[in-house]
Amino acid sequence: MQLTTQHFIALLPLLITSATIVVVMLAIAWKRHHSWTFALSVLGLNLALLSIIPTLKVTPLAVTPLLLIDNFACYYMALVLAATLACVTLIHAYLGGESGKGYPGNREELYLLMLLSAAGGLVLVSAQHLAGLFIGLELLSVPTYGMIAYAFFNKRSLEAGIKYMVLSAAGSAFLLFGMALLYAESGSLSFAGIGAKLAADGLPSMLAQIGIGMMLIGLAFKLSLVPFHLWTPDVYEGAPAPVAAFLATASKVAVFAVLLRLYQISPVTSGGWLNELLTIIAIASILFGNLLALLQSNLKRLLGYSSIAHFGYLLVALIASKGLAVEAVGVYLATYVLTSLGAFGVITLMSTPYSGRDADALYEYRGLFWRRPYLTAVLTVMMLSLAGIPLTAGFIGKFYVVAAGVQSQLWWLLGALVLGSAIGVFYYLRVMVTLFMVEPNLRRHDAPFNWGQRAGGIMLLFVALLAFFLGVYPQPLLELVQHAGLVAIAP
């Protein structure tokens, strides 16, 4: 096919991100300078975010058979880029800005790996073809192995990197085998082609059903849905805090967006036995995620189990797959990304990679209010939002998911959601109570006194204000999502 100017405009976010990767790589090769690398990464990501505005004027547009750039793709590209931008800012705070404070390795490559992973996320949310899906997923996943094990002098970080690599490879194997079976049955690799062929045949054959099931297993690994969730708490605990934030937000948003597109474009993949299977996975994820989070005294592990439950809630909207469902997913993912970034951001500012593990033990946050009141306020807003308390962004997300479930009369799923949310309130409140307790006389990590005057701190305060603002006045987010959802099923 012949590429026109419109095609290049449609691809601008991906092209700018790729150009940023090359520029950052050349800058590192020329001269290692932590602040320059950070500045170039932030500049490139901001330009990529702004380029979505001209991209919207030429959408929907199929750029090669692999990628479809439409409003749906643009919305999720913006979400992935915004999450990556926040995580890059947290990396700068985590690695100590200019003062490396004796960090034993090179700091600059972490930015490069995160930019590469973000480019994979952009490909993934635009995929309309199984080849595009696989390329995007691998480009998203492979750099994360290095990011998770980046604190190589910490054995927990190395262990987490190896665990994620092995399990991610297993998930990719399931995904590839499922794709092969679907191709054998339908003779097509495009989402729409597979959907049309299987719909024409009436009930999908056993081969197609096994193929769809294996693809679901591969994607469930990446989303850490029960029973494919076992890697999550260990990897979250071992990974450097900004990398755990990236895994919880940008990485999962991209995978869920492609799952939603696949589910919408190929009607044969929704309904029937697959809905029943997804219902079981959703209920198990909600209950197991919340119950296991109850037992945690480590904040990163608690957020890991909590993320399993949150993607269980999201499956409720996916299974509904009509009416408010696409909107509900868009709103919930935006609010989840915002609150997860805030929670992991506080852990990042409390931690340094130079003195062993991150500050993730709950006892280290005891009495934080008396030492860092504004940081405590940020974490409190995030916990309230994750619990879905009114006047926070999390409440709006959960409200939309419940509305989608009620519209489709998914009563069992809604029962699990209400029970899971009630359990969730308990352990989120436990974290909040810890912040206000009398502080013990223990040596601990602590955020710097001037954390609010640095890039990471300013970003964190902005995230907290945005979470509160969207809880009080969600209209701007709702309009964005409604605009994006209009063409989620464009051919």
d(CA 255, CA 243): 17
In sequence order, the 6+-apart residues with CB closer than 8 A to the CB of 21 are: 44, 112, 115, 116, 119
Query: Residue 346 gets which letter from DSSP?
Result: H
Assess whether the previous peptide bond of 227 is cis (omega < 30° from 0).
yes
- CA 443 to each of CA 69, 435, 446: distance values in angstroms, whole numbers, following the listed order: 52, 16, 9
d(CA 336, CA 253): 10
d(CA 340, CA 378): 12
- CA 475 to each of CA 81, 253, 393, 479: distance values in angstroms, whole numbers, following the listed order: 22, 21, 11, 6
- CA 299 to each of CA 62, 127, 374, 430, 441: distance values in angstroms, whole numbers, following the listed order: 43, 35, 19, 11, 20
175 located within any domain: yes
315 located within any domain: yes
Q: Is residue 370 classed as helix, strand or coil in its secondary structure? A: helix
The CA-based angle 337-339-342, given to 5 degrees, is: 105
d(CA 52, CA 9): 9
Helices (H), ranges, 127-251: 130-148, 155-186, 191-200, 206-223, 231-238, 241-246
93 located within any domain: yes
Residue 389's Cβ-count burial label (10 Å; 0-12, 13-18, 19+) is middle
pTM of the model: 0.91
Query: Residue 67 gets which letter from DSSP?
Result: E
Q: Which two tokens stand for residue 223?
A: 């989303």
pLDDT tens by residue, the chain, 491 residues? 677 888 888 889 999 999 999 999 999 999 888 888 999 999 999 999 999 999 988 878 888 888 888 888 999 999 999 999 999 999 888 887 444 454 666 788 899 999 999 999 999 999 988 999 999 999 999 999 999 988 877 888 899 999 999 999 999 999 999 999 988 888 888 888 888 877 776 666 788 888 888 888 999 999 999 888 888 999 998 898 899 999 999 999 999 998 888 887 665 555 567 788 888 999 999 999 999 999 888 899 999 999 999 999 999 988 887 767 788 888 999 999 999 999 999 988 887 666 667 777 888 888 888 878 888 899 999 999 999 898 889 899 999 999 988 988 888 889 999 999 999 999 999 989 988 887 666 555 666 666 666 777 888 888 899 989 988 988 888 888 887 764 444 43
Query: Whole domain around residue 397: which residue ranges?
Result: 5-483
Q: How many domains does the chain have?
A: 1
Contact 190, 65 (CB under 8 A): yes
d(CA 136, CA 6): 22
71 located within any domain: yes
Q: Which pLDDT does position 104 carry in this prediction?
A: 64
* Backbone CA torsion sign across 270, 274, 276, 281: negative
334 located within any domain: yes
491 located within any domain: no
Q: Which pLDDT does position 100 carry in this prediction?
A: 45
The CA-based angle 118-119-122, given to 5 degrees, is: 90
d(CA 383, CA 366): 15
Please name the helix (run of DSSP H) or strand (run of DSSP E) that holds residue 117, with its range, or none: helix 109-126
159: closest CA among 173, 169, 149?
Answer: 149
d(CA 298, CA 31): 39
Q: Is residue 63 classed as helix, strand or coil in its secondary structure? A: strand
Contact 313, 336 (CB under 8 A): no
> Which residue's entry shows tokens 């436990």?
430
Q: What is the CA radius of gyration of the chain?
A: 21
490 located within any domain: no
489 located within any domain: no
d(CA 25, CA 474): 39
Contact 339, 394 (CB under 8 A): yes
d(CA 361, CA 16): 39
